[in-house]
Amino acid sequence: MSKEHPWEDGGEILAIQSRQIDYTKPLPGTYLTTGIRAQRGYRLGKFCMTLMAPDNRELFKADAEKYMRDFGLTDYEKELVRSKNWNRMLRYGVNTFMILKLSNAMGVSQNHTGAGMRNQSYEDFMATRNSKGAQ
Amino acid sequence: MSKEHPWEDGGEILAIQSRQIDYTKPLPGTYLTTGIRAQRGYRLGKFCMTLMAPDNRELFKADAEKYMRDFGLTDYEKELVRSKNWNRMLRYGVNTFMILKLSNAMGVSQNHTGAGMRNQSYEDFMATRNSKGAQ
Amino acid sequence: MARIIGGLGSPHAPSIGTATDKDQEQSPEWKPLFDGYAPIRQWLDVQKPDLILMIYNDHANTFFFDKYPTFAISVAAEHEIADEGWGKRPLEPIPGNPQIAWQLAHSLVDQEFDMAVCQEMPLDHGCLTPMSCFFPPAKRWDVPLIPICVNVLQPPIPTAMRCFKLGQAIRKAVEAMPQDLRIVIAGTGGLTHQLGGERYGHTNTEWDQKILDLMETDPLALANMTHQELMERGGAEGVEIIMWLVMRGALSPKVDCIHRNYYLPMVTGFAQVIYEEPDNRRRNSGDAA
Amino acid sequence: MARIIGGLGSPHAPSIGTATDKDQEQSPEWKPLFDGYAPIRQWLDVQKPDLILMIYNDHANTFFFDKYPTFAISVAAEHEIADEGWGKRPLEPIPGNPQIAWQLAHSLVDQEFDMAVCQEMPLDHGCLTPMSCFFPPAKRWDVPLIPICVNVLQPPIPTAMRCFKLGQAIRKAVEAMPQDLRIVIAGTGGLTHQLGGERYGHTNTEWDQKILDLMETDPLALANMTHQELMERGGAEGVEIIMWLVMRGALSPKVDCIHRNYYLPMVTGFAQVIYEEPDNRRRNSGDAA
Ligand SMILES: [Fe+3]
Ligand SMILES: [Fe+3]
């Protein structure tokens, strides 16, 4: 486990008591963004939201480094974006639907993003599906 | 009663049933913004909200007509703003707290606005108060 | 008196809207899904409701986490099409019904539901997908819409039971309205899916079929489940079925399920239903006085 | 275990904040008001609470009617000072307590309160006035703040009873927290005032005194009143006292009112109270084991 970034290994326990979700027993491969995780990921999530605007997407595509710097991402956050490691972003605290806005702006389709999250090639992932057309 | 603008006389009945407020018996001199009244006043209320920004207040003070035109107020709404008739604005559907943003931008203090709503001079209104300093 | 004549269930995946816009509804991959909309379109055509109440969720297009409501209701006269980051769908803005919506908002808040009340609510695929599936191009937009938005994106999200109770409160509100209105309520989203993490693409057809059984005959069994149970079986985003429970809560304990369809092509269990109010069936068949 | 040690009541008029910023607290006109804060400042100094829960209302500075929540809670780490249209007050941003706030949000939503959850919530005079009155410059900001915002601006607004129940739910949430925290809850706004229409400047001292009596000894009598009754007596904006009922609902049925002050200089009946939890008094006087 990374001492500096204790969320990296995915075993982070959120300090929330709830009748609805047992945060001490997280579902495997699932990272609900709430509590400290949501707080940590807020800036990067907000960054992803800016990519809904066409003009911003153009700026990002033209010079991602400048775009990230201008927004004020931390070095760690910039590295996360560059890595296209969607699961790391989820663990950091970026909500799934923010990530889909980022991956879209990076030209990665939803199911390519998903295959990446599953640590599979797109083809291997698609081979597990019933119908390849209806996506 | 104005046929074209049936809300003008203040006797408008909002078609809302509620356990909390009897909209068929409006409190005299009181115009709650909800329902059709809130819908009607929405654009003008949004206009007032823009005057929270210092730059916008400067533009408005420099050329109110241009500012209103650029925002897209209707002729009726422009006339309402020019009139400084706060009660008419309330009846039209502009919430009290939007009006305070507009009157502030027009250089009218809250208690001057209030005296106007009471159809009193500022001095006559202040004579009804316990303490003139704590305002 | 206004009344609810029936409930619809529908998925709301954006890919379905794209298929519609690209004229792919009859392609081999999409036909099994759109065949499931044919009876819904026909039913709506016959019933001619005066209003659709759409229970849907925003996907961070209308709301952001700076201020995320648990429940929101639109009182807008017209609903813009949201740009989610890949351009707006080619749809006209959808008319609302402010008078009924304000009344509904008042009644729900009086009944202790803490709604965010929205005079502007651009709509994303959560609402647009079912609308464009219910109403083919020639029928857009004959029927006005009141969207009710539920947070299923970021915990704390409302309990399944709270959603069921919201449906019950909506029914109470509708039945107190003096207008002669025939209203359809729709629950959207689900069924099984998960879009984030190593568990991306989790599906569970058996559970989906069980949901459809319980939704019809024993919705309280679903309403009593925790989010944890729902997510464990149906995936993190599978919790969206709490929006179907709002629809179900607005209907009679016993409904006539006159249509049910299921198709799981890729990552989401798509299901459609029509639950007709028994009272409405009787009226239409001439049995009622 | 976390616990609520007492409740405060305070007006929140912006003019009070201006008096503070202009160093007019001891002017003849303002002294009768600020004398009422002296016992509160002293009590807070002695009690040293770990957290303030502030029940306040936004005045269309943080939220607009495009999307207006009934109840909102801040989970932010820091709260910006809002510019209401006449420049920001010269105050530093106020720290929150995200860990406790997220826990509170979860607990309230689990208890069927449909909160809007806010990761950014700039604060207006509704919250800033009491904060700067409770904590003079040397004490800013020693105690973190969780603001809870109530719609009193545009109907439908929550019923008085719903607000009282929100207070009860907050208490339940606090008492389930394992942390050893001593929490103060404050209700703000009111008493009698009306800022719009020919009835501008309506005041009612007799009713204000009655509110203060009932708030202490029979809050359910207030909770059972309709908005119409409250507005008729206390003016349209006098309905703000439903925020005091949230505070009161979070306290024991019997409280020790150790301070009460009233002053009506211009258009608003200003009142301050300290309601101490009997349990807290016993602990401090050494009676408790
Ligand atoms: Fe969805
Ligand atoms: Fe206020």
CATH number of the domain that residue A13 is part of: 1.10.700.10
Q: What is the pLDDT of residues A50-72, one digit of tens each?
A: 999 999 999 999 999 999 999 99
pLDDT at B1 over 90: no
Q: Are strands D116-118 and D71-74 parallel, antiparallel or unpaired?
A: parallel
Q: DSSP 3-state helix, strand, coil percentages of chain A (rounded to 5)?
A: 55, 0, 45
Catalytic residue among D12, D79, D193, D259: D193
Q: How far, in Å, CA of D216 to CA of D213, rounded?
A: 6
Q: How far, in Å, CA of B100 to CA of B49, rounded?
A: 10
The residue in chain D having the minimum alpha-carbon distance to the alpha carbon of residue C163 is D112
pLDDT at C288 over 50: no
Contacts of C280 (CB under 8 A, 6+ apart): C3, C5, C6, C47
Does residue A71 belong to any structural domain of this protein? yes
Contact criterion met (CB < 8 Å) for D107 and A18 = yes
Q: How confident is the model at residue D286 (pLDDT cuts 50, 70, 90)?
A: low
| Ligand that comes closest to the CA of residue D237 | 2
**Nearest-neighbour CA in chain B from C2: distance (Å):** 14
What mean pLDDT is reported for chain B? 95
- DSSP class of residue D59? -
CATH number where D138 lies: 3.40.830.10
Is D125 tagged catalytic? yes
Is C59 tagged catalytic? no
Catalytic residue among C125, C202, C227, C259: C125
Catalytic residue among C193, C202, C227, C259: C193
What's the structural domain count of chain D?
1
Please name the residue that has the structure tokens 């775009």. Answer: A67
Residue A4 CA, ligand 1 centroid: distance in Å = 34
Count how many pairs of residues, chain A against chain D, have C-beta atoms within 8 Å.
33
Q: Name the residue facing B32 among D87, D155, D195 (closest C-beta).
A: D155
pLDDT at D88 over 60: yes
Q: What is the pLDDT of residues D171-227, one digit of tens each?
A: 999 999 999 999 999 999 999 999 999 999 999 999 999 999 999 999 999 999 999
Q: Name the residue facing D266 among B46, B104, B134 (closest C-beta).
A: B134
| Ligand that comes closest to the CA of residue A100 | 1
Q: What is the pLDDT of residues C99-118, one digit of tens each?
A: 999 999 999 999 999 999 99
The fraction of chain C above a pLDDT of 90, given in percent, is 94
The residue in chain B having the minimum alpha-carbon distance to the alpha carbon of residue D233 is B27
What mean pLDDT is reported for chain D? 96
Contact criterion met (CB < 8 Å) for D118 and C67 = yes
Contact criterion met (CB < 8 Å) for B36 and C98 = yes
Contact criterion met (CB < 8 Å) for A20 and C226 = yes
Mutate to test the interface with D, among B12, B16, B20 (most CBs of D within 10 A): B20
Q: Name the residue facing A21 among C28, C227, C267 (closest C-beta).
A: C227
Mean pLDDT (whole number) for D221-248:
98
The fraction of chain D above a pLDDT of 90, given in percent, is 94
Does residue A132 belong to any structural domain of this protein? no
Residue D240 CA, ligand 2 centroid: distance in Å = 7
- DSSP class of residue D63? -
Contact criterion met (CB < 8 Å) for D67 and C116 = yes
Task: Give the range of the structural domain holding residue B99, as residue numbers without chain letter.
Answer: 6-126
Q: How far, in Å, CA of D264 to CA of D274, rounded?
A: 19
Mean pLDDT (whole number) for B53-69:
97
Distance spanning both ends of chain C, measured CA to CA: 16
Task: Give the range of the structural domain holding residue C125, as residue numbers without chain letter.
Answer: 3-288
What values do phi and psi take at B115, rounded to 5? -60, -40
Contact criterion met (CB < 8 Å) for D159 and C65 = no
Q: CA-based Rg of chain B, rounded to a whole angstrom?
A: 16
- The pLDDT, as a whole number, for residue D283 is 79
Q: How far, in Å, CA of D122 to CA of D58, rounded?
A: 10
Does residue B134 belong to any structural domain of this protein? no
Contacts of D107 (CB under 8 A, 6+ apart): A17, A18, D169, D172, D173, D176
DSSP secondary structure of chain C: --EEEEEEEE---HHHHHHHHTT-TTSTTTHHHHTTTHHHHHHHHHH--SEEEEEE---SSS--TTSB-SEEEE--SEEPBP--SS---S---EE--HHHHHHHHHHHHHTT---EEES---B-HHHHHHHHHHS-GGGTTSS-EEEEEE--SSSS---HHHHHHHHHHHHHHHHT--S--EEEEEEE--SS---SSTTTT---HHHHHHHHHHHHH-HHHHHTS-HHHHHHHH-GGGGGGHHHHHHHHTS-SS-EEEEEEEE-SSSS-EEEEEEE-HHHHHHHHT---
Q: What is the pLDDT of residues B98-123, one digit of tens each?
A: 999 999 999 999 999 999 999 999 99
- The pLDDT, as a whole number, for residue C86 is 87
Stretch (H or E) spanning D257: strand D256-263
What's the structural domain count of chain A?
1
Q: How many residues does chain C have?
A: 289
Mutate to test the interface with D, among B17, B27, B34, B113 (most CBs of D within 10 A): B27
Residue C189 CA, ligand 1 centroid: distance in Å = 5
Which residues, numbered 36 to 65 in chain C, qualify as contacts with chain D under a Cβ-Cβ cut-off of 8 Å?
63, 65
Chain C residues in contact with A96 by the CB 8 A cut-off are 195-196, 236-237
Mean pLDDT (whole number) for B28-57:
97
Chain C residues in contact with D68 by the CB 8 A cut-off are 116-118
Chain D residues in contact with A39 by the CB 8 A cut-off are 75, 77, 98, 102, 119
Q: Name the residue facing B117 among D197, D226, D228 (closest C-beta).
A: D197
Q: How confident is the model at residue D234 (pLDDT cuts 50, 70, 90)?
A: very high
Judging contact as 3 or more Cβ pairs under 8 Å, the answer for B and A is no
- The pLDDT, as a whole number, for residue D288 is 44
Q: How confident is the model at residue D254 (pLDDT cuts 50, 70, 90)?
A: very high
Taken in order D231, D236, D238, D240, the sign of the CA dihedral is positive
Q: What is the pLDDT of residues D34-55, one digit of tens each?
A: 999 999 999 999 999 999 999 9
What values do phi and psi take at D80, rounded to 5? -70, 155
Q: How far, in Å, CA of D107 to CA of D121, rounded?
A: 20
Chain C residues in contact with D147 by the CB 8 A cut-off are none
Mean pLDDT (whole number) for D80-104:
96
Residue C144 CA, ligand 1 centroid: distance in Å = 22
Closest CA to A83 of A121, A45, A36, A117: A117
Residue C15 CA, ligand 1 centroid: distance in Å = 11
Among A92-96, A104-108, B2-6, C229-233, the range scoring the smallest mean pLDDT is B2-6
* D106 contact C CB<8A: yes
- The pLDDT, as a whole number, for residue B2 is 62
The residue in chain B having the minimum alpha-carbon distance to the alpha carbon of residue D194 is B30
Mutate to test the interface with C, among A14, A27, A126 (most CBs of C within 10 A): A27
SS3 state at D6: strand
Tokens of C215: 């939704």
